[in-house]
C-alpha cells in the first residue's frame, strides 16, 4: 500500500511496525498495529476486532419478547443497554407505548448504567494510562491532602492520614513482590507526567470507586432484580409499584424508592467531588505537558441518535440531542434517521465476511453476514492460526464498517457532547446544561486549575479542547455528571406521578402474540455508554425473522471501507508521538479513551442464518 | 523470595489482628460454616501463601468480571490486594501486548501446578478457533497451554460452564464449555449469567482457606451454593403453595408479590443461590423484583422454550430432589403434580402451554 491520504490523514505504513495484542483493560479482544516514522510518530494505524460470537442468527425464529435477554448478553459491561434497545425495537415494531412510570424507571436504569460504566471505565480501565501507580509511593500524603482539598473542597475523604494509609497499603503490596494486576506495567515511563501527589490521589480514588460502584448498581437490583444483567420486559418494567396496600413489601414500595434516591445522591456526590475534579486536574496537567493528541475523527465527523427525551416518545425533547456533524462544521447538524436505508449502512470490504458486491453497504434491515475468516494480502505475515502482522489492504478484522451516508463517524460521549454543545449554541433549550458544563470545564482547564497549581494559563477554545483524548475522557465524565442529575429529575417525576395516583408499570395490551400483526418491523436506539446503539428487528408470524445490531464499537473500531476511509480508532492514533515504542502507553491511552467493547462490536451475524463455516473437529 | 501468607500480607498492609480475626469469622459465616471452624480458617490464613491466579477471557460478555468486582464480603479490592495474586486478567491488568503475554509464561513456569486458572467465556472451535483470537493465536490454544500447568480451573459463569448465549442453537462458532476442552484437570463450575458476586468470592475464599476444592455435585458445581432450587428457598413459595399467582404483568397479584410461576418463572428448575444469598449485597433478586427467574445458571437455558412459557416438568410436594437426581425420570413424572396444582388454583386459568419442552433439567 505504501502511502495514501484519506479524510485529511496521510497514511504511511513503511516505518517500523508495532503490534499490541491483546489490548487489555477493555471488554473483549482487540489487536492494534501501528507504523512509526523515524521520530517514533504514528503514521499508520490498524485496529482489528479479534472475536466473533454470532448472536443474531441465534435469535432467528425465537419469541421477540425473549430477545432482550439474548441481546443483553452481548455485553456485561454496558449491561442493560442492549436489553433496553431490544425492548424498544420490539415495542416500535408492535406499536406499544409503555406507561410513564415504566419509562422513568427505564431512564433511571439507563442513567445508572451511564454513571457506573463511565466511572468504572475511567478509574479501573483507563486511569493506569494516565496514572503511575509506583510513583504514588513517593508522594507526600500531606501535599496530596492539600491537592485534594484544592481540586475538590467538598470531598470528605481528604486528610493526610487517609492518604498515608492508602500509601502504606500500596507500599506493602508492592513490597510483597506479587504485583497482581500491576505486574509488568509501564511504571516510570516518561509518558506519565503527573506529580507523585496526583498519582496517589488517583490511586486512592481507584480504590474508592471500586468500593462505591457496587452500591450504584443497586438501582438495577431494585428495579431489575440483579446486576449485571437486570431484567427487562416488553411493554413496561417487571417491577410493580405498591406504596399503600397489603403486600407492598412484595413490590416497589417507599423503602425501595428511598433506597434508590439514596443511591442517586451518592452518584451525584461522587461525580461532583471525585470524578469531575480528577478528570479536570489530570486533563489540565497533561494539557500543560502539551499532550493534546488523539482527536482523530472527532474533530471531523460525529454522530448520535439523540437520547433522554424529557417527554416520552417526543424526540424533540432529547436532553442530549442527536444528529450528524461532518467535517468539523459545528454550525450544521444533519438529522439522522435509523430507518432510512440510505443513511446507516455496513460495509465488509476489509472485514472477514462476504457480500456478493462488496463495493456497496447494506442497511441493517437488509443486512447479510457470511463469515469468511481469511487473513490475507501481500503484507500479511504468519499463518492462519498464528497472526504476526495483518495487511490492512486486505480483510483484517471481525468488525464490519458502518458508515453514515458513506462517511466514517466517531460515536460516544464525546460525539454526544459535541452535538449537544452545537445544539445548545443554536438555542436548543433541552441541553443548555451541556453548554454550561463544557464552558466551565474549559475555564477550569485553561485558567482556574493552572492558576491554583502555579502553572501558566492557556486559552484553548472548546473546539480545540474537546476533540482530543483528554476531551474524550472529559466528555465521559461530564456525561456521568449530567446523567446523575437527570436521574434525580426522573426520580422526582416518578414520585410526583405516584402521588397523583398513577402506579401503572406495564402495558399488556399486546403481550399476547395473537394480538400482533402478521408482519412488523421496528428500530430501537439507545445512547449506550460507548456511543449510539441501534437494534433492527423484523417479526413474522410472532417470531423473529431478522435481527441486526449496529453497536458503538463497530462504528469506532471499524476497519477501512471501500474508499479506504479509516474509522475512529485508527484515526485517533494518527500523528501521535510515542515516548518508547516498546511501551505502548500512548496507544493504550487513546484507544482506551473510547472504552472499546469488542463483545459488542463483533457479534453481528447473518439474518438469514446461512451456513457459516465448515465444522472442523480439533 | 519467600511467598507471604494472607495474614502476613494483611498485617503488612496495616490490617490489625482484631480485623483479621473478624474477617475470618465473616468468611466462615459467608461460607455457611459453624463458628467452631473459625480457628481453622485463622490457621490457614496465617500459614498459606497468596495463590497466583490467571484469569483468561474467551467468548464472553465480561459480566462475570463485572459481577466479581461487586462483591461486598469480601470486598473485591481486598480479594485482589490481600487474598490472591491476580497476576493476569485482561480486564484489569496494567500491561498489554507482549508484556501481558510474558506474565502467563512466567506464572506457568514459576508456579507450575500451583496456580489457579479462572476462565470467563469459552473457546469457539469453528474456523480453527479463530473466532476468538488471543495474541494472534486461537484462544483455545492459550487455554490448553495454560491449563496444562494449572492446579485447578474455575469455570466462571454459564459461558465457561455450559456454553451460554453464543452456544445457543445453532451455535454458529461452536462455542464449547471448558470441561469439554480440558479433561485432565479439576474444574469447578460456578454457573450463572453472571454468577452472584459473593458466591464467586466465597468459592475462591473456600479454596484458598481450606486448600481444597469445594464439594461438587455431579455436574461439577459447588454443592454449597448450587445444591437447591431457587423455588425451594423462594420467599414467594407460600403463594405458590396457596395457589396465588400473578396472571398478568402489573396486575393486583403482581402488586402483592404473588408467585410468578404462571409468568414463566424457572425457579422450580434452577439450581442457584439467588433466593438465599440474593444479589448485590442481598438487596433483591429477580423474583423479588417482579420478573420470573430465567434459569441462567442451568445448562442450555437459552433453548428450553421461551422465558415466559410456564415450566411443566417440575418437582414439588414432598419429593426431595437435588442436582444429581434432576434429569432423571422422577422429575418428569412429578411434573404432572405441579401442573395439576396450578390448574386448580383459586385464580383464573392462564392459557395452556403445551408446546413446552420436557423441562426438569
Write out pLDDT tens, residues A134-181: 999 999 999 999 999 999 999 999 999 999 999 999 998 888 888 899
- Mean pLDDT value of segment A243-272: 95
Q: Which of A70, A169, A250 sits opposite B257 (nearest CB)?
A: A250
Spans of all domains in chain B: 1-48, 50-223, 227-361
* CATH superfamily of domain region A1-62+295-467+509-618: Cytochrome-c3 Hydrogenase, chain B (1.10.645.10)
Helix (H) or strand (E) holding B162: none
pLDDT of residue A617: 28
Residue B20 touches chain A, beta carbons under 8 Å: no
Range with the poorest average pLDDT among A53-62, A448-457, B340-349: B340-349
- Mean pLDDT value of segment A236-254: 93
pLDDT of residue B46: 65
Per-residue confidence at A607, pLDDT binned at 50, 70, 90?
A: very low
- The model's pLDDT over A362-373, given as tens digits with 9 standing for 90+, comes to 999 988 777 889
**Bigger pLDDT: A314 or B350?**
A314
Average pLDDT of chain A to the nearest whole number:
94
Whole-number Å distance between alpha carbons of A121 and B339: 47
Q: Which of B59, B67, B94 sits opposite A182 (nearest CB)?
A: B94
pLDDT of residue A57: 81
Beta carbons within 8 Å of B212's beta carbon, 6+ residues apart: none
By residue count, chain A amounts to 618
Residue B129 touches chain A, beta carbons under 8 Å: yes
Residues of chain A above pLDDT 70, percent: 97
Q: What is the full per-residue pLDDT of chain B (361 aa) written as tens digits? A: 445 666 776 676 666 777 777 767 766 665 556 677 677 667 666 666 689 999 999 999 999 999 999 999 999 999 998 888 999 999 999 999 989 999 999 999 999 999 999 999 999 999 999 999 999 999 999 999 999 999 999 999 999 999 999 999 999 999 999 999 999 999 999 999 999 999 999 999 999 888 899 999 999 999 999 999 999 999 999 999 999 999 999 999 999 999 999 999 999 999 999 999 999 999 999 999 999 999 999 999 999 989 999 987 554 444 444 444 443 333 344 444 454 454 444 333 333 333 333 333 3
Helix (H) or strand (E) holding A309: strand A307-309
pLDDT of residue B26: 66
Please say whether the beta carbons of B327 and B302 come within 8 A: no
Residue-by-residue DSSP string for B218-267: TTS-BHHHHSSBGGGG-TTHHHHHTT-B--STTSHHHHTT-B-GGGT--G
- Contact list in A for residue B93 (CB cut-off 8 A) is 24-25, 181-183
CB contact burial A406-438 (16+ within 10 A = b; e otherwise): ebbbbbbbbbbbbbbbbbbbeebebbebbbebb
Residue B91 touches chain A, beta carbons under 8 Å: yes
State the alpha helices, DSSP H only, in A376-531. 413-425, 432-443, 449-453, 462-465, 469-499
pLDDT of residue B9: 66
- Mean pLDDT value of segment A377-399: 95
pLDDT of residue A249: 84
Range with the poorest average pLDDT among A93-107, A241-255, A334-348, B149-163: A241-255
Interface of B with A in 336-355 (CB under 8 A): none
- Contact list in B for residue A128 (CB cut-off 8 A) is 94
Q: A with B: how many residue pairs have Cβ under 8 Å apart? A: 351
- Contact list in A for residue B294 (CB cut-off 8 A) is 69, 231
- The model's pLDDT over A413-444, given as tens digits with 9 standing for 90+, comes to 999 999 999 999 999 999 999 999 999 999 99
Residue B87 touches chain A, beta carbons under 8 Å: yes
Please say whether the beta carbons of B265 and B311 come within 8 A: yes
| Angle of helix A196-216 versus helix A100-120 axis, rounded to 10 | 150
CA closest to B75 among chain A residues: A211
Q: Which of A223, A235, A508 sits opposite B289 (nearest CB)?
A: A223
- A17 min Cα distance to partner chain B (Å): 14
- Mean pLDDT value of segment A451-471: 96
Per-residue confidence at A1, pLDDT binned at 50, 70, 90?
A: low
pLDDT of residue B326: 41
- Mean pLDDT value of segment A494-498: 98
Please say whether the beta carbons of A597 and A26 come within 8 A: yes
pLDDT of residue A587: 96
- Contact list in A for residue B307 (CB cut-off 8 A) is 63, 65-66, 69
- B229 min Cα distance to partner chain A (Å): 17
Please say whether the beta carbons of B99 and A24 come within 8 A: no
Residues of chain A above pLDDT 90, percent: 89
Q: Phi and psi for A61 in degrees, rounded to 5?
A: 85, 0
- Contact list in A for residue B129 (CB cut-off 8 A) is 385, 618
Whole-number Å distance between alpha carbons of B32 and B284: 20
pLDDT of residue B208: 87
Range with the poorest average pLDDT among A344-358, A601-615, B213-227: A601-615
User: Rounded to 10 degrees, what is the CA torsion of B103, B109, B112, B117?
Assistant: 20
* Burial (CB count <10 Å: 0-12, 13-18, 19+), residue B18: exposed
Spans of all domains in chain A: 1-62+295-467+509-618
Range with the poorest average pLDDT among A64-73, A182-191, B190-199: A182-191
Given the C-alpha cell 473478624, which residue does it identify? B22
- Contact list in A for residue B274 (CB cut-off 8 A) is 226
Res. A612: pLDDT tops 90: no
Whole-number Å distance between alpha carbons of A401 and A44: 18
Q: Which of B102, B126, B288 sits opposite A225 (nearest CB)?
A: B288
Pairwise CB contact (< 8 Å): B94 & A128: yes
Range with the poorest average pLDDT among A214-223, A585-594, B72-81, B178-187: B72-81
pLDDT of residue A140: 98
Per-residue confidence at A547, pLDDT binned at 50, 70, 90?
A: very high
Pairwise CB contact (< 8 Å): A250 & B64: no
pTM of this prediction exceeds 0.95? no
Pairwise CB contact (< 8 Å): B97 & A584: yes
Beta carbons within 8 Å of A489's beta carbon, 6+ residues apart: none
- Contact list in B for residue A80 (CB cut-off 8 A) is none
- A615 min Cα distance to partner chain B (Å): 6
Pairwise CB contact (< 8 Å): A51 & B132: yes
pLDDT of residue B13: 66
Q: Phi and psi for A335 in degrees, rounded to 5?
A: -70, 150
Res. A2: pLDDT tops 90: no
Pairwise CB contact (< 8 Å): A226 & B284: yes
pLDDT of residue B28: 64
Q: Which of B62, B90, B99 sits opposite A184 (nearest CB)?
A: B99
Pairwise CB contact (< 8 Å): A225 & B4: no
Q: Which CATH class is domain B50-223?
A: alpha beta
Whole-number Å distance between alpha carbons of A153 and A145: 10
Pairwise CB contact (< 8 Å): B125 & A616: yes
**Bigger pLDDT: A602 or B161?**
B161
Pairwise CB contact (< 8 Å): B193 & A73: yes
Interface of B with A in 154-213 (CB under 8 A): 164-166, 168-175, 193-194, 197
Whole-number Å distance between alpha carbons of B143 and B109: 15
Whole-number Å distance between alpha carbons of A228 and B75: 17
Pairwise CB contact (< 8 Å): A181 & B94: yes
Architecture of domain B227-361: Irregular (4.10)
- Contact list in B for residue A69 (CB cut-off 8 A) is 294, 307
Pairwise CB contact (< 8 Å): A213 & B1: no
CA closest to B67 among chain A residues: A228
Pairwise CB contact (< 8 Å): B14 & A612: no
Amino acid at each position: 500500500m505504501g502511502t495514501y491520504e484519506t479524510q485529511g490523514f496521510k497514511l504511511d505504513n513503511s516505518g517500523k511496525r508495532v503490534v499490541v495484542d491483546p489490548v487489555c483493560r477493555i471488554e473483549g479482544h482487540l489487536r492494534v498495529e501501528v507504523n512509526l516514522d523515524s521520530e517514533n510518530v504514528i503514521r499508520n494505524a490498524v485496529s482489528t476486532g479479534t472475536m466473533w460470537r454470532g448472536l443474531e442468527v441465534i435469535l432467528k425464529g425465537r419469541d421477540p419478547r425473549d430477545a432482550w435477554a439474548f441481546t443483553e448478553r452481548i455485553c456485561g459491561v454496558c449491561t442493560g443497554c442492549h436489553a433496553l434497545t431490544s425492548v424498544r425495537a420490539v415495542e416500535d415494531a408492535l406499536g406499544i407505548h409503555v406507561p410513564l412510570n415504566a419509562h422513568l424507571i427505564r431512564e433511571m436504569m439507563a442513567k445508572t448504567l451511564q454513571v457506573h460504566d463511565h466511572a468504572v471505565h475511567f478509574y479501573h480501565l483507563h486511569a493506569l494510562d494516565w496514572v503511575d501507580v509506583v510513583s504514588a509511593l513517593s508522594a507526600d500524603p500531606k501535599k496530596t491532602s492539600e491537592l485534594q482539598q484544592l481540586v475538590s473542597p467538598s470531598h470528605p475523604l481528604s486528610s493526610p492520614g487517609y492518604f498515608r494509609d492508602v500509601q502504606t497499603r500500596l507500599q506493602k503490596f508492592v513490597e510483597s513482590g506479587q504485583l497482581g494486576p500491576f505486574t509488568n506495567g509501564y511504571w516510570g515511563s516518561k509518558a506519565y507526567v503527573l506529580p507523585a501527589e496526583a498519582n496517589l490521589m488517583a490511586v486512592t480514588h481507584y480504590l474508592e470507586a471500586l468500593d462505591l460502584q457496587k452500591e450504584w448498581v443497586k438501582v438495577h437490583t431494585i428495579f431489575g432484580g440483579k446486576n449485571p444483567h437486570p431484567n427487562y420486559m416488553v411493554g413496561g418494567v417487571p417491577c410493580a409499584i405498591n406504596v399503600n396496600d397489603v403486600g407492598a413489601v412484595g413490590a416497589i414500595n417507599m423503602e425501595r424508592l428511598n433506597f434508590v434516591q439514596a443511591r442517586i445522591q451518592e452518584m451525584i456526590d461522587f461525580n461532583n467531588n471525585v470524578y469531575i475534579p480528577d478528570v479536570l486536574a489530570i486533563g489540565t496537567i497533561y494539557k500543560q505537558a502539551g499532550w493534546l493528541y488523539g482527536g482523530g475523527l472527532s474533530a471531523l465527523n460525529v454522530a448520535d441518535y439523540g437520547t433522554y427525551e424529557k417527554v416520552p416518545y417526543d424526540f424533540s425533547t432529547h436532553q442530549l440531542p442527536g444528529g450528524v456533524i461532518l467535517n468539523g462544521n459545528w454550525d450544521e447538524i444533519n438529522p439522522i434517521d435509523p430507518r432510512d436505508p440510505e443513511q446507516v449502512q455496513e460495509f465488509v470490504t476489509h472485514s472477514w465476511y462476504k457480500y456478493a458486491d462488496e463495493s456497496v453497504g447494506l442497511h441493517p434491515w437488509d443486512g447479510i453476514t457470511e463469515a469468511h475468516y481469511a487473513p490475507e494480502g501481500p503484507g500479511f505475515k504468519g499463518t492462519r492460526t498464528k497472526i504476526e502482522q495483518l495487511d490492512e489492504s486486505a480483510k483484517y478484522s471481525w468488525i464490519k464498517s458502518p458508515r453514515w451516508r458513506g462517511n466514517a463517524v466517531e460515536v460516544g460521549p464525546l460525539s454526544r457532547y459535541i452535538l449537544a454543545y452545537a445544539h445548545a449554541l443554536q438555542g436548543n433549550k433541552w441541553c443548555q446544561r451541556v453548554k454550561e458544563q463544557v464552558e466551565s470545564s474549559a475555564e477550569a482547564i485553561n485558567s482556574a486549575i493552572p492558576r491554583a497549581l502555579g502553572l501558566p494559563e492557556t486559552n484553548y477554545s472548546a473546539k480545540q479542547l474537546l476533540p482530543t483524548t483528554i476531551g474524550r475522557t472529559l466528555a465521559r465524565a461530564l456525561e456521568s455528571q449530567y446523567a446523575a442529575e437527570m436521574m434525580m429529575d426522573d426520580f422526582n417525576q416518578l414520585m410526583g406521578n405516584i402521588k397523583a395516583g398513577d402506579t401503572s408499570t406495564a402495558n399488556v395490551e399486546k403481550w399476547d402474540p395473537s394480538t400482533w400483526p402478521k408482519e412488523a418491523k421496528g428500530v430501537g436506539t439507545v445512547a449506550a455508554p460507548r456511543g449510539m446503539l441501534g437494534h433492527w428487528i423484523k417479526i413474522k408470524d410472532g417470531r423473529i425473522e431478522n435481527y441486526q445490531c449496529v453497536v458503538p464499537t463497530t462504528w469506532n473500531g471499524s476497519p477501512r471501507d471501500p474508499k479506504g476511509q479509516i474509522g475512529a480508532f485508527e484515526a485517533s492514533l494518527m500523528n501521535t508521538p510515542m515516548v518508547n515504542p516498546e511501551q505502548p502507553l500512548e496507544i493504550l491511552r487513546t484507544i482506551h479513551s473510547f472504552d472499546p467493547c469488542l463483545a459488542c462490536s463483533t457479534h453481528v451475524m447473518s439474518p438469514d442464518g446461512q451456513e457459516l463455516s465448515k465444522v472442523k473437529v480439533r | 523470595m519467600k511467598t507471604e501468607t494472607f495474614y502476613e500480607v494483611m498485617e503488612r498492609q496495616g490490617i490489625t489482628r482484631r480485623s483479621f480475626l473478624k474477617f475470618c469469622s465473616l468468611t466462615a459465616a459467608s461460607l455457611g460454616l459453624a463458628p467452631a471452624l473459625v480457628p481453622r480458617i485463622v490457621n490457614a490464613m496465617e500459614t498459606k501463601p497468596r495463590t497466583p491466579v490467571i484469569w483468561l477471557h474467551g467468548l464472553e460478555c465480561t459480566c462475570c468480571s463485572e459481577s466479581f468486582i461487586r462483591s461486598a464480603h469480601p470486598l473485591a479490592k481486598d480479594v485482589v490486594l490481600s487474598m490472591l495474586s491476580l497476576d493476569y486478567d485482561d480486564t484489569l491488568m496494567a500491561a498489554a501486548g507482549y508484556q501481558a503475554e510474558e506474565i502467563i509464561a512466567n506464572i506457568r513456569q514459576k508456579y507450575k501446578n500451583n496456580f489457579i486458572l479462572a476462565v470467563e467465556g469459552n473457546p469457539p472451535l469453528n474456523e480453527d478457533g479463530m473466532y476468538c483470537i488471543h495474541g494472534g493465536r486461537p484462544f483455545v490454544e492459550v487455554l490448553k497451554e495454560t491449563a496444562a500447568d494449572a492446579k485447578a480451573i474455575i469455570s466462571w459463569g454459564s459461558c465457561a460452564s455450559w456454553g451460554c448465549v453464543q452456544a445457543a442453537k445453532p451455535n454458529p462458532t461452536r462455542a464449547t464449555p471448558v470441561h469439554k476442552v480440558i479433561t485432565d484437570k479439576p474444574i469447578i463450575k460456578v454457573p450463572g449469567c453472571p454468577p452472584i458476586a459473593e458466591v464467586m468470592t466465597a468459592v475462591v475464599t473456600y479454596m484458598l482457606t481450606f486448600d481444597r476444592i469445594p464439594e461438587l455435585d455431579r455436574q461439577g458445581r459447588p454443592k454449597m451454593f448450587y445444591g437447591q432450587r431457587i423455588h425451594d428457598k423462594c420467599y414467594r413459595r407460600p403463594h405458590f403453595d396457596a395457589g396465588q399467582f400473578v396472571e398478568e404483568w402489573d396486575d393486583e397479584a403482581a402488586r402483592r408479590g404473588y408467585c410468578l410461576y404462571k409468568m414463566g418463572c424457572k425457579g422450580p428448575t434452577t439450581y442457584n443461590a439467588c433466593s438465599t444469598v440474593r444479589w448485590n449485597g442481598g438487596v433483591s433478586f429477580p423474583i423479588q423484583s417482579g420478573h420470573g427467574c430465567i434459569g441462567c445458571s442451568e445448562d442450555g437455558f437459552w433453548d428450553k422454550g421461551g422465558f415466559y412459557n410456564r415450566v411443566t416438568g417440575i418437582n414439588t410436594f414432598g419429593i426431595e430432589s437435588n442436582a444429581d437426581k434432576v434429569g432423571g425420570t422422577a422429575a418428569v413424572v412429578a411434573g404432572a403434580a405441579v401442573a395439576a396444582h396450578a390448574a386448580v388454583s383459586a385464580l383464573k386459568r392462564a392459557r395452556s402451554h403445551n408446546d413446552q419442552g420436557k423441562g426438569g433439567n
